[in-house]
Amino acid sequence: MTGTLAELPGRINSREAVLGVVGLGYVGLPVACLFASKGFHVIGVDRDGDRIALLRVGRCPIETNEPGLAALLTDVISTGQMQPTTDASALADADVITVSVETPVGTGHRPEYASLRKACTTIGEVAKDGVVVVIESTIGPGTMDQIVRPSLESTPSGRKRFLGHCPERVMPGKLLSNLATMSRVIGAESPEVGSVLEVLYSQIVQADLDVADLLTAELVKTGENAYRDVNIAFANELALICEEVGGDVWKVRELINKSPGRNVLFPGGGVGGHCIPKDPWLLLSSPPSGESASVVAAARMLNDGMPARVAKLTLDCLGELDVEPKDATVAVLGFAYLEDSDDTRNSPTDGLLAELRPLGCRMRIHDPFVAEYRSDALECLTGADCAVVMVAHTEYRKLNLQQAGVVMRHRGLVDARAVFDPGELREAGFTFRRLGVGASRTAW
Ligand code: SAJ
């Protein structure tokens, strides 16, 4: 192991090593706080001056509910362990710099690495010789070689940069706990760099740390999320087939899963969140050669089409109630992308609204976790012709259908998440559609 690299494990264990964290968002901020809470001096850099101003006074800019993060931030700011700044030159003293900036996909589902390039170019200009630069953002295969290293070296300095790619497995609502308890791939340019990063991450991660090459790390993270998206798409396609032939996907998936090695996931009104809609496209940024149709791309398109399927069920239901879309009031239950979450990124409900509003439907939205929509569910349902359950929030499972029926103008309901029992819907006098259940189905 060369010079500075050989000394790093010792400097990490003695807390002499200085850490830099570039990008203080959903991923970077908990990472910075966690390392600082373990005694490291952490320089947190973000280009957003407002965000830095909040952090400097110990206020957490992440508004969704993240247990423990606000308290940890206050602590590491008050002790001076973490220093937020917009000035990247403060990274000059850092021994290891992690980068957690956005890696979105844009038109044509192509990755947009402008933020990543800018961060790496800046680091290349200011970082000292022998610095270890770790990309924690999710990136497509080949990005470390084709984007990161050239950007780091775009300003010839003669100073050595060692590369790592340690993608995060965080989930909104569990940022801190996931960071500490989920296994991680430690991608590194060499086994020596890998063993240094293993020492570093073992300070905050109490789970497997699997050292691998950079490309493997790129493929694992994008692959694991593409895998989930494809599996959700299978459940959704099975639902559409059941609708077509008069089956009940909720019964079918339950019985399939009794077969060893099967695990059909849950159909639903769409796939939202920050990771799953994006990461499959990052994996596909290096598509296999030849004409093979992409399962991953087809799954993305199918999942993106689910809000429109729910809109069709809604129009069917309104039709049975003889309510024209232009005269209809539709109450959507659920705006968050996930049950019992307040995170609304890439909400499938947005897709539903985009389908129904142009037809003249008056759309109302309720969500107990989203401030903007946190009204009383019955109030939202009052005068509505059709309710649409888009998110399986626990609160909805307790909804009194009789009361809902009384306040609604028509007793229409579309259930995209199998929240309600069909027998109870019948008893309460509802005309309803269930995603994945044939309209003509006559249950035993
Ligand atoms: N969804 C379905 N049916 C399912 C599962 C999910 O329609 O059976 C929908 C959800 O409603 C949501 C979207 O897909 O709109 C994503 O749900 P998710 O459960 O995958 O939650 P995420 O987006 O928070 O995914 C994260 C990812 N974790 C990381 O990136 C570290 C993902 O890799 C995990 O597999 C997932 O959590 C998890 O397992 O909970």
Q: Which of 221, 242, 380, 386 is catalytic?
A: 221
Cβ neighbours for 230, distance < 8 A, ≥ 6 positions apart:
280, 295, 296, 299
Distance 169 CA to ligand 1 centre (A): 11
**CA nearest ligand 1 atom 23, residue:** 273
Label residue 166 by pLDDT band (50, 70, 90): very high
Q: State percent of the chain over pLDDT 70.
A: 98
Q: Is residue 290 predicted with pLDDT exceeding 80? A: no
Q: Is residue 441 predicted with pLDDT exceeding 90? A: no
Taking the C-alpha atoms of residue 405 and residue 343, their distance in angstroms, rounded to an integer, is: 29
CA distances from 78 to 35, 75, 334 (A): 15, 5, 38
Distance 29 CA to ligand 1 centre (A): 21
Instruction: Please check whether residue 155 is in contact with residue 125, taking contact to mean a CB–CB distance below 8 angstroms.
Output: yes
The pLDDT assigned to 356 comes to 98
Instruction: Please check whether residue 128 is in contact with residue 97, taking contact to mean a CB–CB distance below 8 angstroms.
Output: no
The pLDDT assigned to 287 comes to 83
Distance 235 CA to ligand 1 centre (A): 13
The pLDDT assigned to 69 comes to 95
Protein residues whose CB sits closer than 6 Å to any atom of ligand 1: 169-172, 224-225, 228, 232, 235, 265-266, 268, 271-273, 275-276, 337-338
The pLDDT assigned to 3 comes to 57
Task: Choose the residue to mutate in 170, 174, 276, 302 for probing ligand 1, maximizing ligand atoms within 8 Å of C-beta.
Answer: 276
Q: Is residue 2 predicted with pLDDT exceeding 70? A: no
Q: Is residue 171 predicted with pLDDT exceeding 60? A: yes
Taking the C-alpha atoms of residue 386 and residue 389, their distance in angstroms, rounded to an integer, is: 10
292, two tokens: 């093979």
Could you report the per-residue pLDDT of 423-436, keeping only the tens digit for each?
999 999 999 999 99
The pLDDT assigned to 155 comes to 86
Q: Is residue 440 predicted with pLDDT exceeding 90? A: no
Could you report the per-residue pLDDT of 338-372, keeping only the tens digit for each?
999 999 999 999 999 999 999 999 999 999 999 99
The pLDDT assigned to 55 comes to 96
Taking the C-alpha atoms of residue 295 and residue 280, their distance in angstroms, rounded to an integer, is: 10
Sign of the four-CA dihedral 195, 97, 68, 171: negative
Lowest mean pLDDT among 3-12, 25-34, 161-170, 179-188: 3-12
The pLDDT assigned to 245 comes to 96
The pLDDT assigned to 65 comes to 85
Could you report the per-residue pLDDT of 390-437, keeping only the tens digit for each?
999 999 999 999 999 999 999 999 999 999 999 999 999 999 999 999
For the chain, the three-class secondary structure string (H helix, E strand, C coil) is: CCHHHHHHHHHHHCCCCEEEEECCCCCHHHHHHHHHHCCCEEEEECCCHHHHHHHHCCCCCCCCCCCCHHHHHHHHHHCCCEEEECCHHHHHHCCEEEECCCCCECHHHCECCHHHHHHHHHHHHHCCCCEEEEECCCCCCCHHHHHHHHHHCCCCCCCCEEEEECCCCCCCCCHHHHHHHCCEEEEECCHHHHHHHHHHHCCCCCCCEEEEEHHHHHHHHHHHHHHHHHHHHHHHHHHHHHHHHCCEHHHHHHHHCCCCCCCCCCCCCCCCCCCCCCHHHHHCCCCCCCCCCCHHHHHHHHHHCHHHHHHHHHHHHHHHCCCCHHHCEEEEECCCCCCCCCCCCCCHHHHHHHHHHHHCCEEEEECCCCHHHCCCHHHHHCCCCEEEECCCCHHHHCCCHHHHHHHCCCCEEEECCCCCCHHHHHHCCCEEEECCECCCCCCC
Could you report the per-residue pLDDT of 197-229, keeping only the tens digit for each?
999 999 999 999 999 999 999 999 999 999 999
The pLDDT assigned to 205 comes to 96
Taking the C-alpha atoms of residue 91 and residue 417, their distance in angstroms, rounded to an integer, is: 48
The pLDDT assigned to 444 comes to 65
Instruction: Please compute the mean of the pLDDT values over residues 282-305 and round it to a whole number.
Output: 91
Sign of the four-CA dihedral 370, 373, 374, 380: negative
Instruction: Please check whether residue 242 is in contact with residue 438, taking contact to mean a CB–CB distance below 8 angstroms.
Output: yes
240, two tokens: 């559409």
Q: Is residue 443 predicted with pLDDT exceeding 70? A: no
Label residue 442 by pLDDT band (50, 70, 90): low
As a whole number, the mean pLDDT across the chain is 95
**Catalytic annotation present for 60:** no
Ligand 1 atom with minimal separation from the 224 CA = 33
Of 290 and 299, more confident: 299
Nearest residue to 95 (alpha-carbon basis) of 126, 119, 128, 121: 128
**Catalytic annotation present for 326:** no
In the block, tokens 């470390």 appear at 144
Q: Is residue 35 predicted with pLDDT exceeding 60? A: yes
Task: Give pTM, 2 decimals.
Answer: 0.94
